[in-house]
Amino acid sequence: MKLLEERVLKEGNALNENILKVDGFINHQIDPELMQAIGEDFAEHFKDSGITKIVTIESSGIAPALMTAHAMHVPLLILKKSPSKVLNENMYQTIVTSYTKGTSYELTLASHLISERDHVLIIDDFLANGEAATGAIRLIRKAHATIAGVGILIEKSFQPGRAKLEEQGFSIYSQVRITKLDQGVIELMEQ
Protein backbone atom coordinates (compact mmCIF):
# COMPACT_ATOMS: atom_id res chain seq x y z
CA MET A 1 0.00 0.00 0.00
CA LYS A 2 1.73 3.11 -1.31
CA LEU A 3 0.55 5.54 1.36
CA LEU A 4 1.78 3.39 4.26
CA GLU A 5 5.04 2.58 2.47
CA GLU A 6 5.71 6.31 2.10
CA ARG A 7 5.01 6.97 5.79
CA VAL A 8 7.24 4.09 6.90
CA LEU A 9 10.11 5.34 4.75
CA LYS A 10 9.64 8.98 5.79
CA GLU A 11 8.76 8.67 9.48
CA GLY A 12 9.77 5.16 10.53
CA ASN A 13 12.86 4.91 12.71
CA ALA A 14 14.91 1.73 12.28
CA LEU A 15 16.64 1.21 15.62
CA ASN A 16 18.62 -1.88 14.63
CA GLU A 17 18.28 -4.98 12.41
CA ASN A 18 15.09 -6.05 14.22
CA ILE A 19 13.04 -3.10 15.43
CA LEU A 20 11.24 -0.37 13.50
CA LYS A 21 9.69 2.41 15.59
CA VAL A 22 6.48 3.83 14.14
CA ASP A 23 5.38 5.73 17.24
CA GLY A 24 4.40 8.89 15.38
CA PHE A 25 1.58 7.38 13.32
CA ILE A 26 0.75 3.83 14.54
CA ASN A 27 1.89 2.88 18.05
CA HIS A 28 1.80 5.93 20.34
CA GLN A 29 0.21 8.60 18.20
CA ILE A 30 -2.33 7.52 15.60
CA ASP A 31 -3.00 9.25 12.31
CA PRO A 32 -6.76 8.79 11.81
CA GLU A 33 -6.72 9.63 8.12
CA LEU A 34 -3.98 7.10 7.50
CA MET A 35 -5.97 4.53 9.53
CA GLN A 36 -9.05 5.21 7.43
CA ALA A 37 -7.08 4.60 4.23
CA ILE A 38 -5.60 1.42 5.75
CA GLY A 39 -9.08 0.17 6.65
CA GLU A 40 -10.40 0.88 3.16
CA ASP A 41 -7.44 -0.93 1.61
CA PHE A 42 -8.05 -4.07 3.73
CA ALA A 43 -11.78 -3.88 2.98
CA GLU A 44 -11.08 -3.74 -0.76
CA HIS A 45 -8.59 -6.61 -0.61
CA PHE A 46 -10.92 -8.93 1.36
CA LYS A 47 -14.24 -7.70 -0.06
CA ASP A 48 -15.28 -11.02 -1.61
CA SER A 49 -14.26 -13.21 1.34
CA GLY A 50 -17.60 -13.37 3.16
CA ILE A 51 -16.23 -11.84 6.37
CA THR A 52 -18.62 -11.57 9.34
CA LYS A 53 -16.22 -10.10 11.93
CA ILE A 54 -12.82 -8.45 12.24
CA VAL A 55 -10.62 -9.80 15.04
CA THR A 56 -7.62 -7.98 16.47
CA ILE A 57 -5.29 -8.09 19.47
CA GLU A 58 -5.10 -5.16 21.84
CA SER A 59 -3.69 -2.58 21.75
CA SER A 60 -2.07 -1.33 18.55
CA GLY A 61 -4.23 -3.51 16.30
CA ILE A 62 -7.42 -1.79 17.43
CA ALA A 63 -7.21 1.41 15.38
CA PRO A 64 -6.61 -0.17 11.95
CA ALA A 65 -8.99 -3.05 12.77
CA LEU A 66 -11.77 -0.62 13.72
CA MET A 67 -11.36 1.27 10.47
CA THR A 68 -11.45 -2.02 8.55
CA ALA A 69 -14.59 -3.11 10.41
CA HIS A 70 -16.17 0.26 9.64
CA ALA A 71 -15.32 -0.02 5.94
CA MET A 72 -16.69 -3.59 5.80
CA HIS A 73 -19.77 -2.88 7.97
CA VAL A 74 -19.03 -5.73 10.39
CA PRO A 75 -18.25 -5.76 14.15
CA LEU A 76 -14.76 -5.65 15.60
CA LEU A 77 -13.85 -8.29 18.18
CA ILE A 78 -10.85 -7.54 20.43
CA LEU A 79 -8.67 -10.29 21.89
CA LYS A 80 -7.54 -9.12 25.33
CA LYS A 81 -4.15 -9.70 26.89
CA SER A 82 -4.25 -10.67 30.52
CA PRO A 83 -1.56 -11.72 32.97
CA SER A 84 -4.16 -13.85 34.78
CA LYS A 85 -3.88 -17.63 34.72
CA VAL A 86 -7.33 -18.00 36.27
CA LEU A 87 -9.47 -20.31 34.18
CA ASN A 88 -12.73 -18.77 33.13
CA GLU A 89 -15.36 -20.88 31.46
CA ASN A 90 -16.78 -17.88 29.59
CA MET A 91 -13.44 -17.22 27.93
CA TYR A 92 -11.33 -19.03 25.39
CA GLN A 93 -7.72 -18.65 26.57
CA THR A 94 -4.26 -19.35 25.16
CA ILE A 95 -0.71 -18.39 26.10
CA VAL A 96 1.31 -16.28 23.61
CA THR A 97 5.05 -15.69 23.90
CA SER A 98 6.51 -12.55 22.34
CA TYR A 99 10.08 -12.99 21.12
CA THR A 100 10.42 -9.25 20.41
CA LYS A 101 9.43 -8.26 23.94
CA GLY A 102 10.62 -11.38 25.77
CA THR A 103 7.29 -11.75 27.58
CA SER A 104 4.31 -14.12 27.69
CA TYR A 105 0.69 -13.26 28.16
CA GLU A 106 -2.69 -14.91 28.18
CA LEU A 107 -4.80 -14.04 25.16
CA THR A 108 -8.52 -14.23 25.81
CA LEU A 109 -11.69 -14.21 23.76
CA ALA A 110 -15.19 -13.91 25.22
CA SER A 111 -16.91 -17.10 24.04
CA HIS A 112 -20.39 -15.62 23.62
CA LEU A 113 -19.16 -13.14 21.01
CA ILE A 114 -18.11 -15.68 18.39
CA SER A 115 -19.59 -18.86 16.95
CA GLU A 116 -19.12 -21.45 14.22
CA ARG A 117 -21.13 -19.17 11.90
CA ASP A 118 -18.35 -16.56 11.92
CA HIS A 119 -15.78 -16.17 9.16
CA VAL A 120 -13.21 -13.73 10.48
CA LEU A 121 -10.42 -11.50 9.23
CA ILE A 122 -7.51 -11.04 11.66
CA ILE A 123 -5.89 -7.58 11.57
CA ASP A 124 -2.67 -6.64 13.40
CA ASP A 125 -0.05 -3.92 13.17
CA PHE A 126 3.15 -6.01 12.96
CA LEU A 127 3.96 -9.51 11.76
CA ALA A 128 7.30 -10.65 13.16
CA ASN A 129 7.46 -14.23 14.44
CA GLY A 130 3.77 -14.86 13.94
CA GLU A 131 3.16 -15.78 17.59
CA ALA A 132 0.34 -13.30 18.18
CA ALA A 133 -1.46 -14.28 14.95
CA THR A 134 -1.00 -17.98 15.73
CA GLY A 135 -2.47 -17.42 19.21
CA ALA A 136 -5.43 -15.58 17.68
CA ILE A 137 -5.98 -18.47 15.27
CA ARG A 138 -5.94 -20.97 18.16
CA LEU A 139 -8.68 -19.01 19.95
CA ILE A 140 -10.84 -18.60 16.83
CA ARG A 141 -10.58 -22.34 16.22
CA LYS A 142 -11.65 -23.08 19.79
CA ALA A 143 -14.87 -21.26 18.88
CA HIS A 144 -15.17 -23.36 15.68
CA ALA A 145 -15.24 -20.15 13.65
CA THR A 146 -13.31 -20.01 10.35
CA ILE A 147 -10.55 -17.67 9.20
CA ALA A 148 -10.75 -15.76 5.92
CA GLY A 149 -7.24 -14.34 6.16
CA VAL A 150 -4.75 -12.22 8.03
CA GLY A 151 -4.22 -8.51 7.27
CA ILE A 152 -1.01 -6.90 8.50
CA LEU A 153 0.16 -3.28 8.33
CA ILE A 154 3.90 -3.94 8.53
CA GLU A 155 5.44 -7.35 7.88
CA LYS A 156 9.08 -7.96 8.71
CA SER A 157 9.58 -10.41 5.86
CA PHE A 158 13.02 -11.45 7.11
CA GLN A 159 11.38 -12.96 10.22
CA PRO A 160 9.48 -16.27 10.10
CA GLY A 161 5.87 -15.10 10.74
CA ARG A 162 4.58 -15.19 7.15
CA ALA A 163 6.09 -18.60 6.41
CA LYS A 164 4.56 -20.04 9.61
CA LEU A 165 1.09 -18.81 8.69
CA GLU A 166 1.35 -19.76 5.02
CA GLU A 167 2.41 -23.29 6.00
CA GLN A 168 -0.96 -23.59 7.72
CA GLY A 169 -2.70 -22.45 4.52
CA PHE A 170 -3.68 -18.92 5.58
CA SER A 171 -3.99 -16.05 3.14
CA ILE A 172 -1.79 -13.15 4.31
CA TYR A 173 -2.03 -9.61 2.98
CA SER A 174 0.62 -7.23 4.28
CA GLN A 175 0.38 -3.60 3.25
CA VAL A 176 4.11 -3.04 3.74
CA ARG A 177 6.76 -5.75 3.53
CA ILE A 178 10.19 -4.99 4.95
CA THR A 179 13.09 -7.02 3.60
CA LYS A 180 15.84 -5.42 5.68
CA LEU A 181 16.28 -3.21 8.71
CA ASP A 182 19.42 -1.76 10.20
CA GLN A 183 20.19 1.38 12.15
CA GLY A 184 18.78 4.12 9.87
CA VAL A 185 18.10 1.63 7.03
CA ILE A 186 14.65 0.45 5.86
CA GLU A 187 14.36 -1.65 2.72
CA LEU A 188 10.95 -2.58 1.29
CA MET A 189 9.83 -5.38 -0.99
CA GLU A 190 8.45 -4.21 -4.34
CA GLN A 191 4.73 -5.07 -4.38
The footprint of ligand G4P (CB under 6 A) covers 19-22, 27, 57, 59-61, 98-101, 125-132, 156, 161
Least spacing, CB of residue 65 vs ligand G4P, in Å: 11
Q: Which is nearer to ligand G4P, 106 or 131 (CB)?
A: 131
Least spacing, CB of residue 134 vs ligand G4P, in Å: 8
One-letter amino acid identity for 85? K
Distance from C-alpha of 138 to C-alpha of 134, rounded to nearest angstrom: 6
Q: What order of strands is seen across the sheet that includes strand 119-127?
A: 91-98, 103-110, 76-82, 53-57, 119-127, 146-156, 172-182, 185-188
One-letter amino acid identity for 154? I
Residue 16 marked in a binding site: no
Least spacing, CB of residue 115 vs ligand G4P, in Å: 26
Distance from C-alpha of 155 to C-alpha of 57, rounded to nearest angstrom: 16
Q: Which is nearer to ligand G4P, 100 or 146 (CB)?
A: 100
Positions at the binding site for xanthine: 20, 27, 156
